[in-house]
Amino acid sequence: MIERNNRCKACEGTGMLADDEGWQYKCSVCGGDGDFFPGDNPEPTNRINVDENNRLLD
């Protein structure tokens, strides 16, 4: 179990995010593991691929 202080605030520790249509995808801030430690880089390691409607193409 992850500590509350290190829980990713973007996904609330679940490792998953959802868009306004309900599609779920891996959290790009924590990388899907649910924890975010001081010093971690919040930027994704690679470019996020999206379609013309700005939906993720995973």
Tens-digit pLDDT profile for the chain (58 aa)?
A: 545 788 999 999 999 988 888 888 888 888 888 998 888 887 777 777 788 887 777 6
Is pTM, for the whole model, over 0.85? no
Per the CB < 8 A criterion, the answer to whether 32 and 53 are in contact is no
| 13 contacts: CB under 8 Å, gap ≥ 6 | 2, 7, 34, 35
